[in-house]
Chain A
Amino acid sequence: MSELFEPLLRSYDERRRSELVAAYMAVEHAAEPVPEARLAALREPASRRTIEAMLNLSGRTLIRAGRTEWTSGYQDEVAEELARDPACAVLAGDRAVLTLVLIHSVAIPRSTGRLPDDTWLSPFPTPLEELRRRSQLAIGELESALRRLRLAGLVSQVRADGRSDNGDAGGFVPGPQFHRLTPAARRRLQEELILAAGPDSPLAATIRARRRSRERVQQEARAHVAREAAVQGENS
């Protein structure tokens, strides 16, 4: 059954092996990042390398969340491939709703200093009414989108009770999947959010310029490789 993992686990004794399996299952299936104090295999760099190799078999990677907590997510190059696959892409309506939640729950509080820079989790819910008004989706479509996003862990619902400032507060915040972003994915999302929330801002202009120059470098690199290949072809 576990032929896939056997080459990586074979050399460990039974105890170490079960610690590795437990840590692998925990980072893959826990709702939140798991503290390394709870799972022996997460405490040592050598066994973390084995867990990383186990995750890599399915295009996943170990992600540090906080100083001593761990979770897993897709490797950047795998995420890029999957995003190109229409069957794997999130529906446009669902993406729109998620973007609104990120703008209201993260971008706006962050711009006013109420939320630290590198977090995608937020205590500030986006009210359902705001989503209804801004998403331009019919209420039935909006509800289906929210059902799918919640099921995928991309948004969480916050109940109205316990808030003092506004009786009918409550709504939606980014879900636990946002723990699972790699540093590069977090950076990319941050840039996308700036482009979405303030397309005319100086920061957005900087991001566009940086992307253009990066593309130019990549194109030049590709052209260089093509030239080299052509030269080699002529020479052989």
Chain B
Amino acid sequence: MTESSVDAGVLARARARVLGAASQPVSEPTPAGLNTASDGERLWLLPVWPDGATPALLDEYDTAPMPMDRSGQARRVLAAALRCCWTRLDDAPWPGEAVPVPAVLEVYAGMSRGDAELARRWATGELRRLSDTGWLLLDESTGVVRPGPRVALWHDDTLGPLRDLLRRLPEPPQGVIAGE
């Protein structure tokens, strides 16, 4: 190993940005200057922003954030997933519950007009993209999905409208809320 000229804390924060929401075992030391979200076993490293700002600040300056393809659809699928995973709406959405993917697809199909089978197919692709970007955690081998570590960065005082929206969405199929 050649010795690095870069400060270890600086490099750790740069690395966290490259990797998006990377996780490590909770037992490992946490680099300074990062936010963290833990589910008890793993710890996700998330950015720290000055003075509680979020990228939503860009709106106030007429500045477009990184574009996302089919962002409306992605947001609706995220809402459908949260409808299933965020079972106690008065609590925080993180870490939430793990639920079977078909339950999320069912809620999403109930939110969309038109071909339900097509809606399920679209939503499956969106779940994957939302998982790539840390909004959800999708385990394709077991077919379950749960909230992603990025939702842990949402301030509680901004959650009101989201709670109202989720209450208006179709209910998850029976048994999901009980975690069956």
Contact with B along A1-19 (1 / 0, CB 8 A): 1111100010000000110
- A26–B63 touching, CB < 8 Å: yes
B11 within 8 A of A: yes
A184 within 8 A of B: no
Contact partner of B52 among A2, A4, A34, A150, CB < 8 A? A2
Within 8 Å CB of A187, what residues of B? none
Asked if A58 meets B14 with Cβ closer than 8 Å, knowing A1-B48, A2-B48, the reply is: yes
- A151–B132 touching, CB < 8 Å: yes
- B53–A85 touching, CB < 8 Å: no
Asked if A25 meets B14 with Cβ closer than 8 Å, knowing A5-B50, A81-B4, the reply is: no
A38 within 8 A of B: yes
- A21–B6 touching, CB < 8 Å: no
A124 within 8 A of B: no
- B19–A26 touching, CB < 8 Å: no
A92 within 8 A of B: no
- A56–B51 touching, CB < 8 Å: no
A residues 12-71 touching B (CB-CB < 8 Å): 17-18, 20-22, 24-26, 29-32, 34, 38-39, 54, 56-60
B18 within 8 A of A: yes
Asked if A25 meets B53 with Cβ closer than 8 Å, knowing A74-B14, A151-B129, the reply is: yes
Bound-state CA distance A60–B16 (Å) is 12
- B57–A25 touching, CB < 8 Å: yes
Contact with B along A64-90 (1 / 0, CB 8 A): 000000000010011001100101100
Bound-state CA distance A157–B14 (Å) is 27
Contact with A along B1-37 (1 / 0, CB 8 A): 0001110001101110111001000000000110100
A176 within 8 A of B: yes
- A58–B55 touching, CB < 8 Å: no
- B19–A87 touching, CB < 8 Å: yes
- A22–B57 touching, CB < 8 Å: yes
How many chain A residues touch B (CB < 8 A): the figure is 42
B residues 59-96 touching A (CB-CB < 8 Å): 60-67, 69
Within 8 Å CB of B63, what residues of A? 26, 30, 34, 38
A183 within 8 A of B: no
- B10–A26 touching, CB < 8 Å: no
Within 8 Å CB of A123, what residues of B? none
Task: State the Cβ distance, B45 to closest chain A Cβ, in Å.
Answer: 12
Bound-state CA distance A199–B8 (Å) is 37
Asked if A78 meets B51 with Cβ closer than 8 Å, knowing A29-B58, A38-B61, A151-B133, the reply is: no
Bound-state CA distance A54–B51 (Å) is 12
Asked if A1 meets B10 with Cβ closer than 8 Å, knowing A30-B65, A57-B33, A58-B17, the reply is: no
Bound-state CA distance A9–B47 (Å) is 18
- A57–B55 touching, CB < 8 Å: no
- B18–A39 touching, CB < 8 Å: no
Contact with A along B165-179 (1 / 0, CB 8 A): 000000000000000
A residues 83-110 touching B (CB-CB < 8 Å): 85, 87-88
Contact partner of A30 among B33, B50, B58, CB < 8 A? B58
- A81–B49 touching, CB < 8 Å: no
Bound-state CA distance A39–B60 (Å) is 11
Bound-state CA distance A5–B47 (Å) is 12
Give 21 A-B contacts (CB < 8 Å), ordered by A residue: A1-B52, A2-B50, A4-B32, A5-B51, A17-B51, A22-B60, A24-B53, A29-B66, A30-B58, A30-B66, A31-B67, A58-B13, A59-B10, A59-B11, A60-B17, A77-B6, A81-B6, A81-B14, A88-B19, A150-B69, A151-B133
Taking beta carbons and an 8 Å cutoff, which residues of A are in contact with B?
1-5, 9, 17-18, 20-22, 24-26, 29-32, 34, 38-39, 54, 56-60, 74, 77-78, 81-82, 85, 87-88, 147-148, 150-151, 153, 157, 176
